Every structure is written in structure tokens, then in C-alpha cells.
């Protein structure tokens, strides 16, 4: 069998890959804001399913592709939620509170720096939820930055992957994509990009090493 082409670039998600797990941040927020956790999970399960199974559109689509403002998304989500006492949830600043417990995962940052220092190109490909990204880190970390709301496209749409490839100037087969959402990995692989389904830093870093991207 012919050997695969060498990997020349790493494309990575942000939330849940370069940050601590989303579920951990959400758990902190649910407790701090005294949100009815079961109601939140029911709402989000339905919204996420719609966002990824192609059945129509919902607020997640709009938030991620930039067609829905952060304030309007917060209003829509807050209207679906209740506190544990059955009271209303404050909409203003809801997203900032949801993601407030995100913290950087330094081993992943270090791995990207090492891969780039060794000659690989790097790109961020993130579905934004109105997040405050640590942009001060990006200039020295990424050759390209693709944030969904800024380009009007969202994962798993193949167009956003092709946009990232164009910015890198590479073919799909020359890139590997890291994401914690398996649906996005399958979308990348359908284009010929190699996928790493991120579950923990050690496993992902080992897979990057197996691709000869790290010493």
C-alpha cells in the first residue's frame, strides 16, 4: 500500500482542547448561578442535536455563524432556563458566566509550539460562542486563525475546513485536525484531513508524536 503523505500542519479546536473540558466549566456555572441542571441539559441536548444533525436551524447555528447576536442568544437561552427555585435566569452576561471557568491546558499549548518550532504550520478552527479568546497568545502560536462567527461559517460545514486549508496553503491530506466533538472529526476526515478525537492531552500529544510532528 502507498504510504500516506507526511503531515505538514496541525489544525485545532479551542474550547475543550486548548481549554479545560466544557463540562467542567458548565458544572461550575450551573452551581454558581443556581441553574436547574436538568432543565439546562434538556434544552441544550435538543439544541445541540438540531445543530449537528442537519434538521433545520436553531440559536446555536446563528450564534456560531455570527447571524445571531450574543445578546439575542443569551436572551433566548435564559428564557428556556430556570433557577433551582423556579425563578428566572439573568440573560445579560450569560455566556461569559457559562465559560468563566475555562482555563488553558498548557501541555496542549506546549505541543503546538513544539510542532510549529519543528516546521509544522498551525491553525485555530473554532466555533465561537461569543467567547473571549486569549488572542495575545495567537500571534506566536498560529499561522492562521479561523473563528466561525467572523467568517460566517461553522463546523461541521466543509466550507470552513476548506477555508482553513486555503489559509494554510496545504492540501487536506497534509493536515491533521484536533477536536473534542466527534461529528466535527468525521466532517474533516470526509475531506481527507486526518482526525484526532481529543479526549485528553496525553493521548492527543501521543498521536501528534506518532505523526512525526513532535520529537
The yes-or-no verdict on residue 214 having pLDDT over 60 is yes
Q: Report the SS3 class of residue 179.
A: strand
pLDDT at 160 exceeding the cut of 70: yes
pLDDT tens digits for 97-137? Answer: 999 999 999 999 999 999 999 999 999 999 999 988 999 98
pTM (two decimals) = 0.93
pLDDT of residue 5: 80
- Angstrom distance (rounded) from CA 156 to CA 183: 7
Q: pLDDT over 90 for what percent of the chain? A: 87
Maximum separation of any 2 CA atoms in the chain, in Å = 63
Evaluate if residue 2 carries a pLDDT over 50: no
Give per-residue pLDDT as tens, 26-43.
Answer: 999 999 999 999 999 999
Amino acid at each position: 500500500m502507498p504510504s500516506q503523505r507526511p503531515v505538514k500542519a496541525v489544525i485545532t479546536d479551542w474550547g475543550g482542547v486548548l481549554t479545560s473540558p466544557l463540562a467542567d466549566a458548565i458544572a461550575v456555572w450551573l452551581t454558581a448561578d443556581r441553574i436547574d441542571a436538568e432543565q439546562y441539559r434538556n434544552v441544550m441536548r435538543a439544541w445541540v442535536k438540531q445543530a449537528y444533525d442537519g434538521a433545520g436551524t436553531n440559536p446555536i447555528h446563528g450564534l456560531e455563524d455570527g447571524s445571531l447576536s450574543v445578546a439575542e442568544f443569551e436572551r433566548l437561552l435564559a428564557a428556556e432556563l430556570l433557577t433551582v427555585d423556579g425563578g428566572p435566569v439573568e440573560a445579560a452576561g450569560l455566556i461569559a458566566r457559562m465559560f468563566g471557568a475555562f482555563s488553558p491546558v498548557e501541555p496542549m499549548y506546549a505541543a503546538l509550539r513544539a510542532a510549529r518550532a519543528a516546521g509544522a504550520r498551525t491553525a485555530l478552527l473554532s466555533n465561537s460562542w461569543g467567547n473571549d479568546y486569549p488572542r495575545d497568545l495567537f500571534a506566536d502560536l498560529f499561522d492562521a486563525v479561523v473563528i466561525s462567527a467572523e467568517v460566517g461559517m461553522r463546523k461541521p460545514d466543509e466550507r470552513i475546513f476548506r477555508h482553513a486549508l486555503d489559509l494554510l496553503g496545504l492540501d487536506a491530506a497534509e493536515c491533521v485536525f484536533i477536536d473534542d466533538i466527534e461529528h466535527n472529526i468525521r466532517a474533516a476526515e470526509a475531506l481527507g484531513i486526518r482526525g484526532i478525537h481529543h479526549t485528553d492531552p496525553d493521548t492527543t500529544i501521543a498521536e501528534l508524536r506518532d505523526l512525526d510532528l513532535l520529537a
